[in-house]
């Protein structure tokens, strides 16, 4: 519910921003994943935000143009096979999620609003 709330709040702020360039940061979402990628977590939320529930609700931007980046330091957990992780990654990418595996977050610059 928290992630959904933050996405909708960002969409509302993007709707109120008249400058397209200044609107872009409100339409970029980075999910720093503590676990291996699973299409049920950010994928399902992203599908809902880009799909029918948001269609036509905003006049100044199209929610389908928003961007989600899933950031995961470890490519996979020991409990999951490489094939399972690859399958989840492909599903997320088909939904338009950018998946970054094997990259560590070392600093966050800006508010986590």
Q: What is the pLDDT of residues 71-90, one digit of tens each?
A: 877 665 556 677 887 888 88
The whole domain housing 9 covers 2-101
Tens digits of residue pLDDT in 8-33: 899 999 999 999 899 999 998 888 87
Is residue 111 in some structural domain?
no
Q: Which residue has the higher pLDDT, 111 or 73?
A: 73
**pTM of structure:** 0.67
Residue 112 lies in a domain: no
Per the document, the length of the chain is 113
- Count of structural domains within the chain: 1
- How far is Cα 71 from Cα 53, in angstroms, rounded to an integer? 26
What CATH number corresponds to the domain at position 46? 3.50.50
In a domain, 7, yes or no: yes
User: What CA–CA distance (Å, rounded) separates 76 from 101?
Assistant: 8
């Amino acid at each position: 519910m928290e992630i959904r709330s933050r996405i909708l709040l960002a969409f509302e702020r993007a709707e109120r921003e008249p400058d397209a360039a200044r609107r872009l940061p409100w339409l970029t979402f980075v999910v720093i994943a503590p676990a291996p990628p699973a299409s049920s977590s950010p994928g399902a939320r992203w599908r809902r935000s880009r799909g029918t529930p948001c269609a036509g609700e905003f006049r100044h931007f199209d929610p389908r143009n928003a961007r989600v980046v899933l950031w995961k330091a470890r490519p996979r957990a020991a409990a999951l096979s490489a094939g399972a992780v690859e399958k989840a990654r492909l599903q997320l990418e088909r939904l338009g999620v950018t998946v970054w595996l094997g990259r560590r977050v070392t600093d966050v610059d800006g508010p986590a609003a």
